[in-house]
Amino acid sequence: MEKFKILIRNYPFIAFIIAFCILALVPSVIFTDVYQSHLATLIFVNIVVAAGLNIVKGFCGQVTVGHVGLFAVGSYTAGTLFLYLGLGFWVTLPIAIIVTAFFGVAMGIPSFRLEGPYLALATLGGGEAIRLFIENGNFFRSTFGISDIPTPSLMGYNFDSPDRYYFISMTIMIIAVYFSFSILRSGVGRAFMSIREDPICAAAAGINVKKYKILAFILSAMFAGAAGAVYAHMPPGYIHPNNYTVIEMVTFLAMVVLGGLGHIWGGIIGAIVITIVYDLTRPLYKYQLLIFGLTIVLTILFMPKGLGGFIDRYFLEKRFKKKTGTEKTT
Amino acid sequence: MILKTKQLSKSFGGLKAINKVDFELPKNEIRGIIGPNGSGKSTFFNLVSGIYDSDPGSYIEFDGHDITFTPPHEIASYGLSRTFQLLRLYQDMTVIDNVMSGYHTRVPYKFFDAVIGRKKIWDQERAIKEEMMELLSFVGLADYAELNASELSGGQRRLLVLARAIAMKPKLLMLDEPAAGLSPVNVDNLMKIIMQLKEKYGLTLIIIEHILKVVMDTCNSVTVFDHGQKIAEGTPAQVKDDNAVIEAYLGKKMDDEEMRKALAV
* Residues of chain B contacting residue A262, judged by C-beta atoms under 8 Å apart: 92
Question: CB-CB: which of B49, B90, B103 is closest to A204?
Answer: B49
Q: Is the pLDDT of residue B149 over 90?
A: yes
Other CB atoms closer than 10 Å to residue A138's CB: what's the count? 7
Q: Which of B92, B98, B123 to mutate to test the interface with A (most CBs of A within 10 A)?
A: B92
Q: Tell me what pLDDT residue A6 has.
A: 86
Mark yes or no for CB contact B101/A207 under 8 Å. Answer: yes
CB-CB under 8 Å, A188 with B101 = no
Q: Check B73 against A203: CB less than 8 A apart.
A: yes
Residue A22 has what DSSP assignment? H
User: What does the angle CA A324 – CA B161 – CA B6 come to, to the nearest 5 degrees?
Assistant: 165
Q: Of B38, B19, B47, nearest to B174 (Cα)?
A: B47
Residue in chain B nearest A200 by alpha carbon: B51
Q: Which residues from A are below 8 Å from B147, CB to CB? A: 316, 320, 328
Closest-CA residue of B relative to A13 is: B117
Residues of A in contact with B172 (CB under 8 A): none
CA distance B116 to chain A (A): 7
What is the pLDDT at residue B265?
62
Percentage with pLDDT > 70 across chain B: 100
Please say whether the beta carbons of A66 and A127 come within 8 A.
yes
Sheet containing B80-82: order of strands: B80-82, B172-176, B204-208, B30-34, B221-226, B229-234
Sequence spans of domains, chain B: 3-79+169-264, 90-164
Residue B3, helix vs strand vs coil: strand
pLDDT, tens only, A152-201: 988 888 898 898 999 999 999 999 999 999 999 999 999 999 999 999 99
Interface check A322 vs B, CB under 8 A: no
Q: How confident is the model at residue B63 (pLDDT cuts 50, 70, 90)?
A: very high
**Chain A: nearest CA to B227, how far in angstroms?**
25
Q: Which of residues 11-50 of A touch B (CB under 8 A)?
A: 11-13
Q: How confident is the model at residue B115 (pLDDT cuts 50, 70, 90)?
A: confident
A318 interfacial to chain B (CB closer than 8 Å): no
| Cβ atoms of residues B142 and B136 within 8 Å | yes
Considering chain B, what is the average pLDDT of its residues? 91
- In this prediction, residue A18 carries a pLDDT of 93
As a dihedral over the C-alpha atoms of residue A116, residue A119, residue A121, residue A127, rounded to 10 degrees, the angle is -130
Q: How far apart are CA A77 and CA A100, in angstroms?
A: 8
Q: What DSSP string describes A60-99?
A: S----S-HHHHHHHHHHHHHHIIIII---HHHHHHHHHHH
Predicted-complex ipTM score? 0.91
Q: Does any CB of chain A come closer than 8 Å to the CB of residue B82?
A: yes
* List of chain A residues with pLDDT < 50: 330
Residue type, A312: D
Q: Over 80: is that where the pLDDT of B264 sits?
A: no
Q: Using a cut of 0.80, tell me whether the model's pTM lies above it.
A: yes
Q: Which of A55, A174, A180, A201 is best to mutate for the B interface (most B CBs within 10 A)?
A: A201
Chain B hits for A10, Cβ within 8 Å: 119, 122-123
Scanning every residue of chain A, which has its alpha carbon at the shortest distance from the alpha carbon of B161? A201
List, as ranges, residues 3-42 from B with C-beta within 8 Å of A.
none
Q: What residues form DSSP beta bridges with B30?
A: B205
pLDDT at B252: 77
In whole angstroms, give the CA distance from residue B152 to residue B129.
20
Nearest-Cα distance to chain A for B216, in Å, is 28
Instruction: Compare CB distances from B88 to A200, A209, A330 and report the shortest one's residue.
Output: A200
DSSP assignment of B166-186: HTT--SEEEEESTTTT--HHH
Is residue B76 within 8 Å of A201, Cβ to Cβ?
A: no
- The pLDDT confidence band at residue B34, using thresholds 50, 70 and 90, is very high
Interface subset of A 85-124, CB within 8 angstroms of B: none
Contact state of A262 with B88 under an 8 Å Cβ cutoff: no
pLDDT of residue B243: 85
Residues from chain A that touch B82, judged by Cβ atoms under 8 A, are 204
Q: Around Cβ A252, how many Cβ atoms within 10 Å? A: 25
Euclidean distance between CA atoms A179 and B7, whole angstroms = 50
Q: Do B71 and A316 touch (CB under 8 A)?
A: no
Asked if A205 is an interface residue toward chain B (Cβ–Cβ < 8 A), one would say: yes
Q: Is A325 on the interface with B (CB under 8 A)?
A: no
Model pLDDT, residue B236: 92
- Provide the pLDDT for residue B176: 93
pLDDT tens digit sequence for B169-226: 999 999 999 988 899 999 999 999 999 999 999 999 999 998 888 888 889 999 999 9
**DSSP readout, B96-134?**
HHHHHHTTGGG--S-HHHHHHT-HHHHHHHHHHHHHHHH
Among candidates B49, B93, B100 on the partner chain, residue whose Cβ is nearest the Cβ of A197: B93
CATH architecture of the domain with residue range B3-79+169-264: 3-Layer(aba) Sandwich (3.40)
The CA distance from B84 to B97, in Å, is: 18
Contact with chain B for residue A52, Cβ under 8 A: no
Predicted pLDDT of residue A229: 96
Q: Does A202 touch chain B (CB under 8 A)?
A: yes
Instruction: State whether residue B44 sits within 8 Å of chain A by CB.
Output: no
List the single residue in A179, A197, A208 with the smallest CB-CB distance to B73: A208
Residue A122 contacts residue A255 (beta carbons within 8 Å): no
Min distance B55 CA to chain A CA atoms (Å)? 20
- The pLDDT of residue B127 is 94
Interface test with B, best of A57, A178, A183, A194 (most B CBs within 10 A): A194
Mean pLDDT for B65-93 is 93
